[in-house]
Structure 1
Amino acid sequence: MRNYRYRGISQTGKRVQGEMQASNEQDLEQRLRAINIDLLTFKNKPYKGDRLFKRSKVTRRDIIVVTSQLRQLLKAGVPLMDILDDLRRTYENEAVCEILSSIYKSMEGGESFSLALKNYEAVFGKVYISLVAVGEKTGQLDQVLENLEHTMKWEESLASKAKKVMIYPAIVATVVLAVVVLLMIFVVPELLSFIKEMDGSLGFATVSLIATSHFIREYLIFISLFLAATFYLLKWWLKKSHAFRVKFDRFIFKIYIFGPILLKLKIARFASTLSIMYGAGINFNDSLKLASMVTGNAYLEERVSESRHLIEEGETIYKAFDLSGLLPPLAVRMVKVGEQSGNMDEALRNVSEYYDTEAKDLIEKIEPAIEPILTVVMALMVGWVMMAVLGPVYETISKVP
């Protein structure tokens, strides 16, 4: 079922407008006629997920489970409509049930599976829907769903690894920073007043602690406002300026340690998606365009766009990738071999596997070092505060005859 905005005329001649769910245009007209409204104009209202997601969220795991069940039952010979009917009644997530129910009703109204999915592009994504459409046309929907399931599981594994490495340090750093700020605002001033009363000489550690504590207490509100303003300005600028977004996304890849990991993960995901789409029979340029969407990076999307332009002008695929700077030299050589041998989808799969392995190796090297580094940083912070507070106390006591 789709959501439509409509304008019409009631029996009394009054102009009316509103929203209604219907399978297609004819169904919308019939439904309005049943309530004595003649349809004038209508507009399809695409699904955004807002209303549904407030009740329960559709996660990547949900999409993987649904795809897996569709694939297994299709291979077993169960008709697609029966599978959807069963899933919409039994799936544990209410949001998924409503989506599947809407897709089922749209297909009852005569739409294909891929067309019914299009109303939920925000949930499934263009790549998923395009591949399903190819599977329907070729009669290999179960095989397409199997490829999608494998790819989504792999992507989820990559995302989980990347989050583990990047989020853990961020959480610990935030906690440490919060503890330091609280110490500087509430604890340190009390300790320092005690130290000053002892009339001891103040060393560098104590002077720096006093200065830091004073600065934070005096300017914390201004610092917080500045950081918040910077964050929202950056967010606004990224939305408004495509050129700035491209530069920002390129800068992310240059961040020490984390940048190279992220770049390798993006290349692996891009190459994997491109391999699946091209292998499914989608035109290479169309596959490129759709595969660029999964990167979620404006810089890589621009490089893909430049590659497509070069290919349209007659350049070879590997040369276009090289000239645009889309792929590193090693990946370009792998694509060159695939293009010349006629095994492009296999070559792209090899690129994906290579950079997947590279990213995982980097993560495995970094992961064991994160905790000791953070422990050392915390120890230095605690040591600084202890030296600043206990140093003058010890010096004063040592002067007592």
Structure 2
Amino acid sequence: MAKATARQTKKTPLHRWKWIGKGPQDRPMRGELIGRSKADIVDQLAKQRITATKIQKRSSFTGRGKVTNVDIMVFARQMATMVRAGIPILQALQAVAESLKKPAMVALTQQLMEDVSSGDSLSAAMAKHPRQFDQLFVNLVDAGEQAGALDQMLERVASYKEKVESLKSRVKKALWYPAAVMTIGVAVTMLLLIKVVPEFESMFQGFGAELPALTQFTVNLSELAQQYWLHALGTLVGSIMLLKAAARRSPGIAYRLDSLLLRLPVLGDIMDKSAVSRFTRTLATTFSSGVPLIEGLETAAGASDNRVYDKVIKSIRQDVATGQQLHFAMRMTNRFPALAVQMVSIGEEAGSLDAMLNRVADYYEEEVENKVDALTSLMEPIIIVVLGALVGGVVVSMYLPIFEIGTAL
């Protein structure tokens, strides 16, 4: 019975709880704690000599959270600091868990503690959570444990993830900024067509005269929007969801989508250079950490975040495994820029491949940043013109009959 109760308690998810209570000398206090139940929170507060008067679970949207790459990056930096200070792994995990504020991350850290306390190495414990700790993370931690340089490897992983996340945010900015603004513009236009234009239309019917072509076009468009806007919205959302589901289930469709993204004007070039930067950054990190080049290429294929480059990097790995040099294998794919291939060739000849790969990554990260800034600057006037044409066109077309009546009078 006791074992069943323990298992049930273990399976209870962690949540964030808001509490109000009284401390020593009846001093009013409040705050937040992470725990599995109200009783757990009461016990934690009692250890701090606090009597809880009110305990409330945070909402599911903010109370538990989801483990992100940023959380893993911060975790790696905290662990590197603890290990560098000479704190044993188990105690370091305990200290990190107590400092975390996201329940999902606390639960993950506690699972690592349980595995390590049962005899697993830190890398083996992390390998049980592939969604949070990718192959690169596990390989570097394993290499650090074997070489006695775990703190350096954790710091290297944190730096790597920080640069990758920075690159991702730039690419997302290039994709989402124009899409978000245009979506708002289309939504405002639809609102005008569905709610505002019908009011003018009823007024125009009393004129008894033929409407200007632009006004008639807007009225006809308004009638279509009123009848089919819900169908159009449902079709759009359904198509997007269907496409995502097809991409998850069919590698062929996912590959074609990634290939299409790389061929888009401007955006395709940004995503292309982003993939090159992530590949070289990942390979540089693994190679400088003592991971064999073949294994590093396997890890870099998964880190490219693009199925086209994933396939290309796997072909490079096969060529390198047969004895070819890395720069020659890269050139044979016809995918990598000539500058990147040339710099890798120089790095191989000089025996400083990791340093040269890092320079390639830095160069293309800067290229991505410059292109995103240029795209943003270019899109702003275009977006203003398009939004002005959409919204202004509807407004002007509604006032044209009124202007003509005023002119006739």
| TM-score clears 0.5 | yes
Query: Any conservation in 2 of the 1:303–1:325 contact (CA below 8 Å)?
Result: no
Residue-by-residue CA offset, 1:33-62 (whole Å, 9 max, x unaligned): xxxxxxxxxxxxxxxxxx999822222222
Q: Which residue does 1:175 correspond to in 2?
A: 184
Q: Using a 3 Å threshold, how does the CA distance of structure 1 residues 236 and 164 change in structure 2: closer, same or farther? A: closer
- Of the structure 1 ranges 337-346 and 270-279, higher mean CA displacement relative to structure 2 is found in 337-346
Alignment size in residue pairs: 355
Shift of 1:111: 0.8
Shift of 1:163: 2.7
Confirm whether residue 327 of structure 1 aligns to residue 336 of structure 2. yes
RMSD after superposition: 2.4
Query: Any conservation in 2 of the 1:295–1:301 contact (CA below 8 Å)?
Result: yes
Q: Which residue does 1:223 correspond to in 2?
A: 232
Aligned-partner Cα distance in 2 for 1:53–1:155 = 26
- Where 1:56 maps in the other structure, the secondary structure is coil
Shift of 1:20: 11
Q: Which residue does 1:30 correspond to in 2?
A: none
Aligned-partner Cα distance in 2 for 1:19–1:120 = 21
Shift of 1:167: 1.9
Q: Which residue does 1:257 correspond to in 2?
A: 266
Residue identity opposite 1:314 in structure 2: G
Aligned-partner Cα distance in 2 for 1:248–1:60 = 24
Q: Using a 3 Å threshold, how does the CA distance of structure 1 residues 65 and 297 change in structure 2: closer, same or farther? A: same
Residue identity opposite 1:298 in structure 2: R
Aligned-partner Cα distance in 2 for 1:139–1:373 = 56
Residue identity opposite 2:342 in structure 1: R
Aligned-partner Cα distance in 1 for 2:99–2:312 = 44
Q: Which residue does 1:139 correspond to in 2?
A: 148
Q: Using a 3 Å threshold, how does the CA distance of structure 1 residues 54 and 256 change in structure 2: closer, same or farther? A: farther
**Alignment map for 1:206-355 (pairs within 5 Å):** 206-355=215-364
Q: Which residue does 2:21 correspond to in 1?
A: none
Shift of 1:302: 0.7
Residue identity opposite 2:139 in structure 1: S
List alignment gaps of at least 5 residues for structure 2.
Answer: 1-6, 12-59
Aligned-partner Cα distance in 1 for 2:217–2:146 = 71
- Where 1:150 maps in the other structure, the secondary structure is helix
Residue identity opposite 1:62 in structure 2: D
Q: Which residue does 2:405 correspond to in 1?
A: 396
Q: Using a 3 Å threshold, how does the CA distance of structure 1 residues 89 and 184 change in structure 2: closer, same or farther? A: same
Q: Using a 3 Å threshold, how does the CA distance of structure 1 residues 20 and 386 change in structure 2: closer, same or farther? A: closer
Q: Using a 3 Å threshold, how does the CA distance of structure 1 residues 184 and 121 change in structure 2: closer, same or farther? A: same
Q: Which TM-score applies when normalising by structure 1? A: 0.82
Residue identity opposite 1:300 in structure 2: Y
Of 161, 164, 189, which aligns to 2:170? 161
Query: Any conservation in 2 of the 1:201–1:392 contact (CA below 8 Å)?
Result: no
Q: Using a 3 Å threshold, how does the CA distance of structure 1 residues 210 and 137 change in structure 2: closer, same or farther? A: same
- Of the structure 1 ranges 277-286 and 168-177, higher mean CA displacement relative to structure 2 is found in 168-177
Aligned-partner Cα distance in 1 for 2:177–2:98 = 39
Residue-by-residue CA offset, 1:336-369 (whole Å, 9 max, x unaligned): 1112222211121111011011111112222233
Q: Which residue does 2:207 correspond to in 1?
A: 198
Residue identity opposite 2:245 in structure 1: W
Aligned-partner Cα distance in 2 for 1:350–1:391 = 60
Query: Any conservation in 2 of the 1:276–1:345 contact (CA below 8 Å)?
Result: yes
Residue identity opposite 1:108 in structure 2: S
Aligned-partner Cα distance in 2 for 1:341–1:354 = 19
Q: Which residue does 2:68 correspond to in 1?
A: 59
Shift of 1:316: 2.0
Aligned-partner Cα distance in 2 for 1:252–1:335 = 26
Aligned-partner Cα distance in 2 for 1:102–1:300 = 34
List alignment gaps of at least 5 residues for structure 1.
Answer: 1-17, 23-50
Residue-by-residue CA offset, 1:62-87 (whole Å, 9 max, x unaligned): 22222111112222222222211222
Aligned-partner Cα distance in 2 for 1:158–1:205 = 46
Aligned-partner Cα distance in 2 for 1:100–1:359 = 35
Kindly, what percent of the aligned residue pairs are identical?
A: 28
Residue identity opposite 2:317 in structure 1: R
Shift of 1:236: 2.8
Q: Using a 3 Å threshold, how does the CA distance of structure 1 residues 75 and 124 change in structure 2: closer, same or farther? A: same
Aligned-partner Cα distance in 2 for 1:70–1:327 = 36
